[in-house]
Amino acid sequence: MKKTTTPVNKNDIIEVLFEDLTHEGAGVAKVDGYPIFVQNALPGEKAKIKVLKANKGYGFGRLMEIIENSPYRVEISTEDYNKYGGCQLQHMSYEGQLEFKEKQVRDVMTRIGKLEDATVYPVIGMENPTHYRNKAQVPVGEKDGKMIAGFFKPRTHEIVETKESIIQNEVISEAVQVVKEVFSNLGIPAYNEQTHKGVLRHIMARYGKQTGELMIVLVTRTSSIPFIETIVKEITDRLPQVKSIVQNVNTKKTNVILGDKMTLLWGNEVIYDRIGDVKFAISAKSFYQINPDQTKVLYDKALEYAGLTGEETVIDAYCGIGTISLFLAQKAKKVIGVEVVEEAIEDARRNAELNEIANAEFVVGDAGNVIAEYYQKGNTADVIVMDPPRKGCEESLLNTIIEMKPKKVVYVSCNPGTLARDLHILEEGGYQAIKIQPVDMFPMTTHVENVVLLELK
């Protein structure tokens, strides 16, 4: 049998020129057409790399020395790179990040979506692309006999002590440190993954940016927490913004953060926040967008593309806790929100009540099935809005849309690849993608959201 040869071998040290970035933010260099992926490298850079792995069709390498820098490179320390594992693009200037994301969207729309005529607009970025996250779930452990809280080092379960983060809201970073100190001072042990002993597993914090309200969730292995009255008093004394302290019990040996049992220890079960004129109640388990400033930009664009006059019936597939539905309801005759998660629908109904919005109704169920049944009963919609999970829309839903023929479809997506695939199906079914607007919801990462307007041909 003929042995496959590759132009490089493991442990080779070679000089390369980087041509592109992957969707995960790794630099792509080619040796005789053979791609090698290297973290922390940028297009246009010449560098020395060490080959770590040489598979049949592609390899992986490590950056040894940069010979020529990209104009978009921003210097950061290795310590910071390890510390902020989720920030794949922190070594790239913000201007460079926005250009990369726009190119990513254009490429997949042409390659996967086969969309020649749709206008892809420049990415709407943030004025200040740091400290935007309104939620943290921070693992807790022990090192050298001390409690530490931080983030897992990329591709490991080693916790890197992190007191602040470039993308985390400062209020949340402070809250995590306060909780860690309170537990540490009382000698309450952190959870140990290996021995499955200890008490505190994760510290979760949620922050309402517009209201200033803070929720603390203590994720524990044990049902009881020693010195709980002292803990509550210390936290509320040191963090006056706290409106809710909740305990979540997770007794399992698992990587899943939250367990099933929630107990309110102090304050309210929810905190509140606003996006534009709409108020939202957020519980410990509610899905709520983590960048509220850019969420408003995204939803304003969805509302603009829907072009509502007050006469339309709108279906919001994958409605979650009703965030987009309640935005649309301000301008539509009627909105029907559909979501498979029952707790999310309960939250959506509560949020409609909270805002005294009477023209939005919410249905539990799979979007494809619910909307197909709705159509079979002789009902229709003028506009369908959808914001599916990363895997994109079910084919059954796309087929129902093609049969139902609403005048407009507004597709909000967090994954350009599955978006392009679904747009291609809708285009073949009689729709035309008119406008694609990328929005940068997650600066310093490779993720980009898009809002697309499709109209019936």
Residue 219 has pLDDT above 70, yes or no: yes
Question: Is the pLDDT assigned to residue 3 strictly greater than 70?
Answer: no
pLDDT recorded at residue 142: 93
pLDDT of residue 287: 87
The pTM of this model reads: 0.92
Could you list the residue range(s) of the whole structural domain that residue 172 is in? 135-275
pLDDT of 245 higher than 60 = yes
- Residue 284 in domain: no
Whole-number pLDDT of residue 4: 63
**Which of the pair, 324 or 77, is modelled with greater confidence?**
324
Average pLDDT, whole number, for the chain?
94
Check which CATH number belongs to the domain holding 112 and give it.
Answer: 3.40.50.150
For the chain, percent of residues with pLDDT exceeding 70: 97
Predicted local distance difference test score (pLDDT) of residue 34: 96
192 and 174 in a common domain:
yes
Q: Reply yes or no on whether the pLDDT at 259 is more than 50.
A: yes
pLDDT exceeds 70 at position 80: no
Query: Is residue 359 a part of any domain in this protein?
Result: yes
Which pair of tokens denotes residue 217?
Answer: 């969730």
For the segment 135-167, what is each residue's pLDDT rounded down to a tens digit? 999 999 998 889 999 988 777 788 888 888 889
Is 421 inside any structural domain? yes
Write the CATH number for 186: 2.40.50.1070
Question: What mean pLDDT comes out for the span 242-256?
Answer: 95
Give me the helices (H) in 206-354, please: 228-238, 292-306, 323-329, 342-354
CA-CA distance, 63 to 446, in Å (whole number)? 19
Per-residue pLDDT for 288 more than 50?
yes
Is 414 marked active-site? Answer: yes
Residues 313 and 418 in one domain: yes
pLDDT at residue 81 tops 80: no
> Domain end: 240, 275, 310, which one?
275
Is the same domain home to 45 and 112?
A: no
pLDDT of 102 higher than 90: yes
Establish if 286 belongs to a structural domain.
no
Segments in 89-161 forming alpha helices (H): 94-111
pLDDT > 70? residue 432: yes
Q: Is 448 part of any domain?
A: yes
Under 8 Å between Cβ of 202 and 148: no
Asked if residue 396 and residue 251 are part of one domain, the reply reads: no
Mean pLDDT of 291-309: 96
Q: How many domains does the chain have?
A: 3
The answer to whether residue 435 sits within a structural domain is yes
In-domain check, residue 444:
yes
Q: DSSP assignment, residue 4?
A: P
One domain, residues 123 and 158 = no
pLDDT digits (tens, 9 = 90+) for 110-129: 999 988 888 999 999 999 99
**Stated length of the chain:** 457
CA-CA distance, 54 to 61, in Å (whole number)?
A: 9
Q: Provide the pLDDT confidence category of residue 364 given band limits of 50, 70 and 90.
A: very high
Structure confidence at residue 363 (pLDDT): 96
**C-alpha separations of 398 from 132, 220, 337, 422, 446 in Å:** 34, 42, 17, 8, 27
Q: Using 50, 70 and 90 to split pLDDT, how confident is the model at 1?
A: very low
